[in-house]
Each structure stands twice: as structure tokens, then as C-alpha cells.
Amino acid sequence: MTDDAAKRAPQGTMIEIQGVSKWFGDFQALKNVSLSVGKGEKFVVCGPSGSGKSTMIRLINRLERHESGRIMVDGIEVADDVKAIEAIRREVGMVFQSFNLFPHLTVLENLMLAPVWVRKAPKKEAEEIARQLLARVRIPEQADKYPGQLSGGQQQRVAIARALAMRPKVMLFDEPTSALDPEMIKEVLDVMVELAQEGMTMVVVTHEMGFARTVADCIVFMDQGEIVETGAPKDFFAAPKTDRARLFLSQILGH
């Protein structure tokens, strides 16, 4: 694994997951999972519902706690140390399926909150950056609205901008387009493609195989808490190595 990553990404590894297991009570959601994401790489994670995709990426910024194994993010170990966790969270942005914007704050305030309170950026500077980011996700005119007044696609783009406002080194996406109406999916994916082209390290849980084909360096296929298969998109789509991946692909591409 690690050797692969070194070959693909010469600048070094960003995320290193080694032999990680995760239980929810008696239920083992992740079974000895290992994965290594190099700096600047884009990973797409797919697999059937309940296979542990969300759980895996939520371990990376400690929204879930792993019981065994080891996770390193940019050289910092993800462990119980609060300072380390806060340091990692400053470097790792996350975008959720359900946007999770703060409804009591305007779009601009949503974007400025963490830079001002976590990075201690001056308000003026934070606002400037926030406005630039809104322009980048193509909704500069919505700055003073509240999240509840935006469409789903707009909200998700605000959520992406909010994560970017912290100038993260890694972006995690957990099914960012699954809650969107079809006509809004593209506007969000376009923003993500652009982000990828600018060289951001990304781990994206998605079933948008078109996005995976254009952007991904590596597809990770999970099933029942295991990483069943990893590979370059062209190999994975053309000739999946396992029956489980073949079945999954036929289901999501079949209709």
C-alpha cells in the first residue's frame, strides 16, 4: 500500500490508515482497514450502503474514534489528545451529505466563523477571503442570505466554501451530492472538479462515477467494513477484480 502511494505521490503521504478496526457496540463497522493517500491525490470511495464508507472518512478527522490500528494525518497521529485532534481538524475540511450549515448565521458568517475563532484571523481579512471563496463557488451574491433561503446546490457550495475558508490541506466529502435534486448535482460537482484540478488532496465518498472517472487517482471499493479493492479508475471500471465490485458496478451503472 505505502509503496504504491510513494510511487503515485512523490511529495509524500497525507493520510495513512493502518490496520484500523471500528466497532459500534458488538457490530464491527470496519475490519482491519488500511489505506494511504498521498499529498495531492484524489481518492473516491464507493460501495454498498452500510459498507463503512462514512465511518472510514469520519475517522480521519476524529468524528468517530477507532479502537485499533493507527491513523496519521500530515504527520500527526489521530488519537485521544485534544490538541492533536484540533490541529488535525484545522488541516482537514469536511463536507457532509446534509450540508450542516449553521442556520442562525448568514452565509458570510458561516464562512468567517472558523477562520476568526479558530485561526484567529482578523475579521476584515476573514471577510475578504470568504467573499473570494463565494465567488469561487459562484454564489458571491448570496453572502448576506441565511442558509435556509438557498437551494440545496447553493447550500452545498457554501458548505464547500466554509470548509475551504480554513485553508485545509485535505478535503473530505461524504456523499456531497446525494441529498441534491439531479439538476443541482452538476453545479456542486463542477466546483469539486475545479478544486481537484487546483491540486487539493481529496477523499470523496460518492456514487457519481462520472466524477470518479474524470478526477480520481484511485477508487476504493468497500463492502461489509472491508476495503475489497483499490485501483485506478480505468482498471476498476473496465475490469473489477472481485465479484463483489462487479456486482456493485452493475447495480449502480446498470440503470
Partner 1 sequence: MSAVLRRTPALPGPLEWARVNLFSSVPNALLTLLSLYLLWKYVPPFVSWALLDAVWQAPSSKACREAAGAGACWAFIGEKHRFILFGTYPFEEHWRPGVSILLFLALYAVSAMRRFWTPWLVLAWLAGLTLIGMLMWGGVFGLRYVENERWGGLVLTLLLATFGIAFAFPLSIVLALGRRSEMPVVRAVCVIYIELIRGVPLISMLFMASVMMPLFLPSGVTVDKLLRAQTALILFAAAYLAEVVRGGLQAIPRGQYEAAEALGLSFAKRTALVILPQALKISIPPLVNTFIGLFKDTSLVVIIGLFDLLLALKTALNEPAWSGIGVEAYLFASLVYFVFCYAMSQYSQRLERDLARGPTARALKDT
Ligand X SMILES: Nc1ncnc2c1ncn2[C@@H]1O[C@H](COP(=O)(O)OP(=O)(O)OP(=O)(O)O)[C@@H](O)[C@H]1O
The residue ranges that bind partner 1 (CB under 8 A) are 61-63, 86, 89-90, 92-94, 96, 98, 100-104, 106, 113-114, 117-118, 141, 144-146, 148-149, 159, 162-163, 166
Residue 163 contact, options ligand X, partner 1, Mg ion, none, Cβ 5-8 Å cut-off depending on partner type = partner 1
**Range in contact with ligand X (rule: CB under 6 A) among 23-31, 116-124, 210-218, 237-245:** 23-31
The residue type found at 1 is: M
**Range in contact with Mg ion (rule: CB under 5 A) among 48-56, 99-107, 236-244, 246-254:** 48-56
Could you say which of 13, 36, 55, 154 contacts ligand X (CB under 6 A)?
Answer: 55
Smallest separation (angstroms) from partner 1 to the CB of 244: 30
Cβ-based nearer residue to Mg ion, 50 or 199? 50
Cβ-based nearer residue to ligand X, 13 or 51? 51
Q: Write the CA distances from 112 to 99, 119, 124, 143, integer angstroms.
A: 16, 10, 10, 11
Instruction: Report 152-181 residues binding Mg ion (CB under 5 A).
Output: none
**100 near ligand X (CB under 6 A):** no
Cβ–Cβ < 8 Å for 229, 45: no
Cβ-based nearer residue to Mg ion, 97 or 106? 97
Could you say which of 53, 89, 162, 244 contacts ligand X (CB under 6 A)?
Answer: 53
Smallest separation (angstroms) from Mg ion to the CB of 178: 8
Nearest CA to 45 among 218, 186, 235? 218
**65 near ligand X (CB under 6 A):** no
**Range in contact with ligand X (rule: CB under 6 A) among 35-43, 50-58, 85-93, 155-163:** 50-58
Cβ–Cβ < 8 Å for 40, 9: yes
Query: Footprint of ligand X on this chain (CB under 6 A)?
Result: 24, 27, 29, 47, 49-55
Query: Footprint of Mg ion on this chain (CB under 5 A)?
Result: 54
